[in-house]
Structure 1
């Protein structure tokens, strides 16, 4: 027999400790289930495939202050010099670096302005025909830029007529899946999608559409530029050490800054998410530890208060297993009440996080998993005090009256 009625009567006589423990279990369940779900969501985000060989790519920024060189010519010379360095696979000048958190985006229309029509937002990169190879991505459909497609200019009125898009962008713009070869517009300027890449991320991983990326064959000759370089596997560190000297040797009237590996650039961009992940892990450990200690302490307190009751039961023939079972059932009842309240609070908390912070909807498997974990933890926490209670001899209990 589980002796439910005597246990409930005993809990009624000592309500404060039981209620506090019930509330603690409820709070732990509500917070841990949501925290575990957020951790899993952030881990999936941090470990997502970007489409790039991040360990082989780095970038740098160039600020040119010299006035004695034509920038277009200088950039062409820089690219040729970089591509011929030992250990370098390819290099490209661009307006933005993927995964860096800094770049440009615009709405691409299906009809020219001012005609009304649907538009699709995308981050865009501007570079020459070496960009795909530099980023280590390949076309799944269509073709790469031809050299004649590339526009190098300082004239804002000269815009490219073609572009390469990610499949995610093309499918959003043309849900039928026939985006290759279709015309789109930036304002009233048309361009044609000539190639499609299956996977590549834009500058912002936290964007609503990080996979919506467009590459235009366009280099605007400006005093401030970014350069992306891909090296042979294992050669990146060596190339990065010498790249500033090589650039200044080619032309010394400029400043080289922000020499950074792509994976490090992404790590810095995601630093706040990583910090949140670690804080949530610490929070879970602390909450579970406090709850376990609370159960342990409450059980010890109950034992000290019930020494006479336990001794009397032992004198009447109760076995050690009966005493252990008594405290296990008692704590299971408290835990069940706390879990019922905690699961309800977890669902309500998840709904609030969804509404206020646009987090994904809490999945019920995390609530169920947390409830099971808390139940097991409460049973483990009560075993030692219960076994200690079972060791009380009838004679010791009698002398304590």
Structure 2
């Protein structure tokens, strides 16, 4: 089939063709970028926190209504930890000050040198007298976990000068603070800047541990752990690992055990790590589903536009089709004519859509710091719209091919 007659027909009635091509271009530009954003958001929501088997982890926030002194709080913390360890199905318990992805907690400025004017990074500040490496099942890639003699006990209301002498850092933080060093082991990490900064020697490096805010960029893994027990009268957090498949039961029994063992009224809040992950990434998942919905609607609207335009062309060319059939054109010739015509229109739209998609992505990269749009999305999008164009026009084209010459040429 020659292309020239098709192009000639399109040029004589080009408004509809232009509208379809523009619709395809806009849809392709939006679809490819939307799905790229969906992939990024889904990847962020699924990224590892550093805690292995999150489905077995939960934590309890404990607040006693009447506060004890430092020694009383220490004794109570140790007693409550023992109560939790006695619950059937509990494999590990650790006191801590905050939880990854919980969106609640503290950070500290850190630096490689006390003389630095500006901080090297801002890192989450986790502390525990027990092993968070064990309870959270963190992966140590260099060095070791803390030893019992490194743990210090601090009364926040009175002791403001004492500070742990050892620290574990994430690999991401180590690369940020000491970018030119092969290993941070044995180096001193300073919390704060200036002469008042507290120094701690790096004894271990863990593969990763998300911050309490779980930022999207690399700072979401800038975390530190120090060996410390703190009493401050504001409550206690116990993080608990249960046996696989036993978490929900253990959560209920752990809460009941603490309430029964409490010597005085207590406020308890129990949360799982899975719940924190869901809450933290709720907006990302909502955005993903919204973009998926918009993409599906765009495809449906584009397909409807192609079907409607093809049906209109068939109606307008009814007599022309009859004449061609009377002169010997086969059904397959009529079908091929409309498919080729639509393919040309869709190809123009696809080409324009690729240019528009790249321009839109460049804008997103410059304004929102997104990553570049992979070419695979453009190739997949182009293939999708070519297939969509063929599928959408096939019905009207087939109806045109089945028109008999007598019916098509009959006067109204």
Q: 2:292 aligns with which of 277, 281, 285?
A: 281
1:214-253 matches, within 5 Å, as: 214-222=224-232, 223-253=234-264
Deviates more, 1:23-32 or 1:45-54: 45-54
Alignment correspondent of 1:50: 49
Is the CA contact 1:90–1:130 (under 8 Å) kept in the aligned structure 2? no
Q: Distance in 1 between matches of 2:371 and 2:265?
A: 46
Cα distance in 2 between the residues matched to 1:384 and 1:230: 59
Among 265, 268, 273, the alignment partner of 2:276 is: 265
Given the alignment of the two structures, is residue 197 of structure 1 paired with residue 203 of structure 2, yes or no?
A: no
Deviations 1:8-37 (A, max 9, x none): 222233233222211110111000000111
Partners of 2:240 and 2:360 in 1: CA distance: 46
Alignment partner, residue 206 of structure 1: 215
**1:60 and 2:69 correspond:** no
Q: CA deviation at 1:217?
A: 1.0
Change (3 A) 1:338 1:304: same
SS at structure 1 position matched to 2:221? coil
Structure 2 gaps of 5+ residues are none
The equivalent of 2:337 in structure 1 is: 326
Aligned to 1:342: 353
Moved more, 55-64 or 40-49: 40-49
After TM superposition, give the deviation of residue 118 of structure 1 in Å.
Answer: 6.1
Question: Does residue 189 of structure 2 align to residue 179 of structure 1?
Answer: no
Q: Is the 8 A contact 1:94 1:227 kept in 2?
A: yes
Are residues 73 and 193 of structure 1, via their aligned partners in 2, closer, same or farther at CA, if it must alter by over 3 Å? Answer: same
Matched residue SS, 1:256: strand
Greater Cα shift, 59-68 or 269-278: 59-68
Alpha carbons of structure 1 residues 62 and 266: separation in structure 2 relative to 1, 3 Å: same
TM-score by structure 1 length?
0.94
What is the CA-CA distance between 1:252 and the residue it aligns to? 4.8
Please give the alpha-carbon distance, in whole angstroms, between the structure 2 residues aligned to 1:306 and 1:277: 43
SS for the counterpart of 1:7 is helix
Which residue number corresponds to residue 367 of structure 1?
378
- The residue correspondences of 1:56-205 to structure 2 (distance < 5 A) are 56-68=56-68, 70-113=72-115, 115-116=116-117, 119-154=120-155, 155-175=159-179, 176-187=181-192, 188-205=197-214
Q: CA RMSD in A?
A: 1.8
Distance 1:256 1:358 in 2: 43
What's the TM-score, normalizing by structure 2?
0.92
Equivalent-residue separation in structure 1 for 2:200 and 2:112 (angstroms): 10
SS in 1 for 2:371: coil
Match among 303, 309, 331 for residue 320 of structure 2: 309
Q: Write out the 4+ residue segments of structure 1 that deviate beyond 3 Å after TM superposition.
A: 115-118, 252-258
**1:93 aligns to what SS in structure 2?**
strand
How far residue 56 of structure 1 moved from its aligned partner, in angstroms, is 0.4
- 1:214 Cα deviation after fit: 0.7
Measured at CA, do residues 239 and 173 of structure 1 come closer, stay the same or move farther in structure 2, by a change above 3 Å? same
Q: Is the 8 A contact 2:87 2:253 kept in 1?
A: no
The CA distance in 1 between the partners of 2:338 and 2:81, in whole Å, is: 75
Where in structure 1 are there 5+ consecutive unaligned residues?
A: none
Structure 1 CA distance, aligned partners of 2:67 and 2:409? 101
